[in-house]
Amino acid sequence: MSEQSTATGAEELAQRYSRSLIGVFGAPQRVLVRGEGVHVWDADGNRYLDLLGGIAVNALGHAHPDVVAALGKQAETLGHVSNFFATPTQIELAERLLQLAQAPGGSGVFFTNSGTESNEAAFKIARRTGRPRIIALERSFHGRTMGALALTHKEAYRAPFEPLPGGVEFLPAEDLPALEAALATGDVAAVVLEPIQGEAGVIPLTEAYLLGVRELTAAHGTLLILDEVQTGIGRTGEWFAHQRFEGVVPDVMTLAKGLGGGFPIGAVVTFGEHASTLLSPGQHGTTFGGNPLGAAVALAVLGTLAEEDLLGAARTLGAQLTAEVAALAARDARVEGSRGAGLLQGIALAAPIAPQVVTAALEAGFIVNAANPSTIRLAPPLVVTGEQLTSFLTALPALLDRAEQLVAGTDATPEKRF
Give the residue from 124, 393, 372, 396 showing the smallest Cα distance to 268: 124
Among 51, 109, 210, 229, binds ligand PMP (CB under 6 A): 229
- Known binder of ligand: residue 180? no
- CA neighbor of 388 nearest in space, from 368, 373, 414, 370: 368
Q: Does 418 bind ligand PMP (CB under 6 A)?
A: no
Give the separation between CA 156 and CA 161, rounded to whole angstroms.
10
**Residue 225 or 403 with smaller CB distance to ligand PMP:** 225
Question: Known catalytic residue: 257?
Answer: yes
Q: Is 169 annotated as a binding residue?
A: no
Of 141 and 418, nearer to ligand PMP (C-beta) is 141
Q: How far is the CB of 229 from ligand PMP (least distance, A)?
A: 4
Is 230 annotated among the ligand-binding residues?
Answer: yes
Residue 194 interacting with ligand PMP (CB under 6 A): yes
- DSSP states along 295-321: HHHHHHHHHHHHHTTHHHHHHHHHHHH
Which of residues 53, 54, 115, 204 is near ligand PMP by CB under 6 A?
A: 115
Q: Is the dihedral of CA 347, 350, 354, 359 positive or negative?
A: negative
For residue 156, the minimal CB distance to ligand PMP (Å) is: 15
Q: Is 6 annotated as a binding residue?
A: no
Between 224 and 400, name the residue whose CB sits nearer to ligand PMP.
Answer: 224
Choices 227-235, 298-306, 321-329, 356-364; region in contact with ligand PMP by CB under 6 A:
227-235
Closest approach of ligand PMP to the CB of residue 228, in Å: 8
Total residue count of the chain as it appears in this document: 418
* Ordered DSSP codes for 161-230: GPSPPS-EEEE-TT-HHHHHHHHTTS-EEEEEE-SEETTTTSEEPPHHHHHHHHHHHHHTT-EEEEE-TT
Nearest distance, CB of residue 177 and ligand PMP, angstroms: 25
**324 counts as binding ligand PMP under rule CB under 6 A:** no
At a CB cut-off of 8 Å and minimum separation 6, what does 410 contact? Answer: none
Q: How far is CA 15 from CA 4, 27, 34, 192, in A?
A: 9, 10, 20, 41
Evaluate whether 390 touches 409 at the Cβ level (below 8 Å): no
- Please identify which of the residues 257, 263, 366, 418 carries the catalytic annotation: 257
Identity of the amino acid at 250: P
Tell me, yes or no, if 141 is annotated catalytic: yes
Name the closest residue to ligand PMP (Cβ): 115
Q: Is 95 annotated as a binding residue?
A: no
Residue 377 assigned to a binding site: no
Nearer to ligand PMP, 58 or 388 (CB): 58
At its nearest, how many Å lie between ligand PMP and the CB of residue 53?
A: 12
Own/partner contacts of 323-327, CB < 8 Å, gap of 24 or more, are: 324/389, 324/390, 324/393, 325/393
- Closer of 55 and 78 to ligand PMP (Cβ): 55
Contacts of 176 (CB under 8 A, 6+ apart): 209, 212, 213, 216
> Residue 332 catalytic?
no
Q: Which of 98, 100, 126, 256 binds ligand PMP (CB under 6 A)?
A: 256
- Quick note: the x/- pattern for ligand PMP over 134-163, rule CB under 6 A, is -------xxx--------------------
DSSP state of 62: B
Beta bridge partners of 108: 270
Q: For residue 41, what are the β-bridge partners?
A: 34, 47
Residues with active-site annotation: 141, 227, 257
Please give the annotated binding residues for N(2)-acetyl-L-ornithine, written as ranges: 144, 286
Interface residues toward ligand PMP, by CB under 6 A = 55, 114-116, 119, 141-143, 194, 198-199, 227, 229-230, 256
